[in-house]
Amino acid sequence: MTKYIVAFSAMIAFMIAPSVYAQTTAREAKTLLEEVSNKIKSAPGIEIEFTYTFTNPRADASMNQTEKGTIVMSGDKYRLQFMGIDRLFDGKKIYTFLHEDKEVQIMDAEDDDEGFTPSFILDLYKQGFSYAMGGNSTLNGKRLQHIMLKSLNSAEIDNIEIVIFADTKQLQRMVQKGRNGGVTTFVVNQYKNLPTAPNMSFNRRAYMAKNYLIVE
């Protein structure tokens, strides 16, 4: 669900740099990714409002899609509202709420084809990607650190750029470039730390009382 772009010049510079430099920048990138990922996982709760954009100039009919969404997280548990979908992951099962049809679809997490969890992208460096520190930029006076990930074996993903606020270690955006020319951008519009863990449990009785059909 999440797909992102990367700067070729930074990746080329990383690939042709001396091995000692490459190892150093990879260690720095790994350390920063771990810090950001652990911050998300250890927080009582986080609420993110985001904008998702997908473009593909190579497509027969040029594609340009923009959607807004909200995700509330607590560890790897989450509640996602995006593109008309309302989805809950309680740590074991995924619940998809089809409110217009008054239906709840339940599936085991391992059966989810998308394999999505909120920390998935930030853990990509552990799963078939090389990585390196990119450059720096600023946004409204705040310094941003860019991290570059290059796919080693994915048939779909070419490379990914992850951009993080240097001071707070919060995610600012992720951009993925696909091998088919598609570019997916995920921009964080608002990042809110919640003081207590949000409720991430499914109340079956409450939905049955509303005459929802439960499909397992």
Distance in angstroms (rounded) separating the CA atoms of residues 105 and 122: 28
Its pTM stands at 0.79
Q: pLDDT by residue (tens digit) across 12-69? A: 333 334 343 356 678 888 888 888 888 888 889 999 999 999 998 887 666 788 999 9
Q: Label residue 120 exposed, middle or buried (CB < 10 Å: 0-12, 13-18, 19+).
A: middle
Smallest Cα–Cα separation from 29: which of 150, 156, 187, 115?
150
pLDDT of 40 reads 81
Distance in angstroms (rounded) separating the CA atoms of residues 80 and 87: 5
Q: Average pLDDT of the chain? A: 82
Distance in angstroms (rounded) separating the CA atoms of residues 146 and 162: 6
Written in H, E and C, the secondary structure of 25-68 is HHHHHHHHHHHHHHHHHHCCEEEEEEEEEEEECCCCCCEEEEEE
Helix (H), strand (E) at residue 22: helix 19-42
Place of tokens 């608002």: 190
Question: pLDDT: is 121 or 40 the higher one?
Answer: 40
Question: pLDDT: is 215 or 64 the higher one?
Answer: 215
Full DSSP string of 82-93: ETTEEEEE-SSE
Question: Mean pLDDT across the stretch 85-111?
Answer: 91
Ordered structural domains, the chain, with CATH: 8-215 (2.50.20.10)
Question: pLDDT: is 131 or 172 the higher one?
Answer: 172
Residue 71 has pLDDT above 80, yes or no: yes
Distance in angstroms (rounded) separating the CA atoms of residues 131 and 109: 28
pLDDT of 129 reads 84
